[in-house]
Amino acid sequence: MNNIQSTILQKAPIFYDEFERKAGTQLKTTHYCPGCGHGILHKLVAEALVDFGVIDKTVFLSPVGCSVFAYYYFQTGNIQSAHGRNPAVGTGYKRANPDSIVISYQGDGDLAAIGGNNILQAANRGENITVFFVNNATYGMTGGQMAPTTLIGQKSTTTPRGRTVQNEGYPLKMSEIISTLEAPVYVERVMLTNPKNITKARKAVRKAIKNQIDNKGFSFVEVLSACPTGWKKTPQESKGWITDVMEKYFPVGLKKDVSEEREPTIVKRWKAKYDDFHKLLDIKSLNSLPDVPKIPKTQNISEEIKIAGFGGQGVLSLGYVLANIGMGHNYEVSWLPSYGPEMRGGTANCSVKISDDRIGAPIISNPTTLIALNKPSLDKFENDVVAGGNIIYDSGLIDTPPKRTDVNIYPIKATEIADKLGSTKAANMVLFGIYAELTGYLSKEYIEWGVNHIINKKKFNELNINALHKGFESGQKHKN
Ligand SMILES: Cc1ncc(C[n+]2csc(CCOP(=O)(O)OP(=O)(O)O)c2C)c(N)n1
Ligand code: SF4
């Protein structure tokens, strides 16, 4: 008796004790169907991360698909990406945090259909991330539509008579495709059918993660995985179907391994220097210049400004300058341009948010101020302005004033004024001036200084300042 050794089997400590998928529901089990391969693969990945001691620096990227809920299970960093976008998200995360371990977990719809190009580009760049590709030959989550890996003859809800080459083409062999690229370091296909094959899968999972830990580059493990629900088979039949049918088209085994030859590398990517930012966007760095005017204390504001007109009217640059000046005043800002395909004459608008609080999204549905430089823009956005908000419009170009009675309306012949000053191009600065005067939360002295520094074209400095002044004056008249 004394010689008997016992092993206590337990859940890998990287999993939460209980899974709270809905408030108040403390579950011990995952949401996966009986016989689903996702659960087995979760276990293999979890155990490897624990054994390598990298839980604290791992970020698990959940896809859109049945495994979307992985963040309820893995006690790691988690990001839930848009459909197919794990490789792009993982690229960003890993480049910003080269010491992290990034696991991109993806289904065949996610990786090979909507995210097909995303994965190819990340693999081709040789991002140092680990990708687990769950090939179950179907879209499990949405009820069994055809996936790029659905086999010829296989029935799905979108190929009820079975996939045909003539209609849907051949199933994509992602491991073979990726292994033809130069950059990837390791590509293997495994299957989750019996203990022997699961042991092989376990090895592949570990190798792919270890490669990343060793900075060897991009590793990709494709896992032939059962979807009994989608396949309308029992779990037992599903395992048989993988070995008897699926594996014939998707042979398991090593497709590429150059991990021994590859030197560990942390690729040195271009990183912006402080001065580059200065040149790009960040007026805040200009605030260290000796001649910076005094910046007033920030107020409680949440300005949502929509500026709209034709391309060439300076719509986007007005928004850009305004956002930068707001940033210079220590507000949170966002600037979102939107324009038609034409360089000139097409419609253009931009959304600028300026707030003392953090900004969740740059999109504006209901502006607090609309600055309209042409009639189509006024027509389009007039009704969106919040009650009590402002509409500033170029009354020299728009002959039909806004009809709203519950907003403040400020006509100004901005283009005409700018013309008289020397160039219609400065109309946007006239509009900036009136906006600043009417709202009053930005320093006029700082605006003048900021405009000169941001636009940074000496020959326009005087014109812009004169245009701003005309705007200030008009705003004052409206206020009185
Ligand atoms: C942009 C977008 N398009 C489509 C969908 C619908 N959708 C959800 S999951 C899914 C496919 C999932 O299949 P797969 O990646 O194979 O994962 P599985 O569920 O089989 O694990 C689709 C098309 C979506 N959520 N988002
Ligand atoms: S539908 Fe298929 S892939 Fe989704 S959980 Fe069920 S068995 Fe797994």
pLDDT per position as a tens digit, 359-391? 999 999 999 999 999 999 999 999 999 999 999
Q: Do 322 and 359 reside in the same domain of the chain?
A: yes
* CATH code for the domain in which residue 472 is found: 3.40.920.10
Q: Residue 45: which H helix or E strand, with range? A: helix 37-51
What pLDDT score does 291 carry? 86
Task: State the residue range of the domain holding 466.
Answer: 279-479
Q: Do 199 and 288 reside in the same domain of the chain?
A: no
What pLDDT score does 287 carry? 79
Q: How many helices (H) and strands (E) does the chain have?
A: 18, 13
- Confidence check: pLDDT of 269 > 70: no
Q: How far apart are the first and last CA of the chain?
A: 99
Identify whether 269 is part of a domain. no
Query: Whose Cα sits closest to atom 5 in ligand 2?
Result: 32
Q: Do 94 and 209 reside in the same domain of the chain?
A: yes
Q: Do 321 and 253 reside in the same domain of the chain?
A: no
Instruction: Supply angle C-alpha 72, 73, 74, rounded to 5.
Output: 110
In this prediction, residue 273 has a pLDDT band, given cuts at 50, 70 and 90, of low
d(CA 370, CA 375): 12
Atom in ligand 2 nearest the alpha carbon of residue 228: 7
Q: DSSP states of 190-215 as a string? A: EE-SSHHHHHHHHHHHHHHHHHHHTT
Q: Do 175 and 80 reside in the same domain of the chain?
A: yes
Q: What mean pLDDT, rounded, does the chain reach?
A: 93
pLDDT per position as a tens digit, 383-423? 999 999 999 999 999 999 999 999 999 999 999 999 999 99
Q: Do 229 and 301 reside in the same domain of the chain?
A: no
- The CA 139 to ligand 1 mean position distance, Å, reads 6
- Confidence check: pLDDT of 281 > 90: no
What pLDDT score does 480 carry? 85
Q: Where are the beta strands (DSSP E) in 52-144?
A: 58-62, 77-80, 101-107, 130-135
In this prediction, residue 210 has a pLDDT band, given cuts at 50, 70 and 90, of very high
- The CA 90 to ligand 1 mean position distance, Å, reads 19
Q: Do 196 and 297 reside in the same domain of the chain?
A: no
Phi, psi of 239 (to 5 degrees): -60, -45
pLDDT per position as a tens digit, 313-357? 999 999 999 999 999 999 999 999 987 665 555 678 999 999 999
- Confidence check: pLDDT of 295 > 60: yes
Q: Do 234 and 340 reside in the same domain of the chain?
A: no
Identify whether 3 is part of a domain. no
Query: Which tokens sit at 235?
Result: 């779990």
Atom in ligand 1 nearest the alpha carbon of residue 106: 15
- Confidence check: pLDDT of 242 > 80: yes
d(CA 434, CA 391): 11
Q: Do 292 and 203 reside in the same domain of the chain?
A: no
- The CA 135 to ligand 2 mean position distance, Å, reads 11
Q: Do 386 and 287 reside in the same domain of the chain?
A: yes
* Residues pairing with 104 in the sheet: 61, 131
Identify whether 141 is part of a domain. yes
d(CA 351, CA 332): 14
Identify whether 262 is part of a domain. no
Phi, psi of 47 (to 5 degrees): -65, -40
Atom in ligand 1 nearest the alpha carbon of residue 67: 21
CA–CA distances in Å: residue 176 to residues 186, 247, 252, 387, 443: 12, 14, 11, 59, 61
- Confidence check: pLDDT of 272 > 70: no
What pLDDT score does 290 carry? 83
In this prediction, residue 2 has a pLDDT band, given cuts at 50, 70 and 90, of low
Kindly report the pTM of this predicted structure. 0.70
Instruction: Say if ligand 2 is within 6 A of residue 140 CB.
Output: yes
Identify whether 83 is part of a domain. yes
- Structurally, the chain folds into a number of domains equal to 2
* CATH code for the domain in which residue 58 is found: 3.40.50.970
- The CA 122 to ligand 1 mean position distance, Å, reads 20
Instruction: Say if ligand 2 is within 6 A of residue 230 CB.
Output: yes
Instruction: Say if ligand 2 is within 6 A of residue 134 CB.
Output: no
* Residues pairing with 152 in the sheet: 163
Atom in ligand 1 nearest the alpha carbon of residue 141: 19
Instruction: Say if ligand 2 is within 6 A of residue 314 CB.
Output: no
d(CA 162, CA 347): 47
Q: Which carries the bigger pLDDT value, residue 472 or residue 271?
A: 472
In this prediction, residue 247 has a pLDDT band, given cuts at 50, 70 and 90, of very high
Give the CA count within 13 Å in the CB-facing half-sphere of 2: 0
Q: Do 211 and 339 reside in the same domain of the chain?
A: no
Identify whether 434 is part of a domain. yes
From 192, 223, 229, the mutation candidate for ligand 2 (largest count of ligand atoms within 8 A of CB) is 229
Q: Do 163 and 120 reside in the same domain of the chain?
A: yes
Identify whether 265 is part of a domain. no
Q: What average pLDDT does this structure show over 225-246?
A: 96
Identify whether 319 is part of a domain. yes
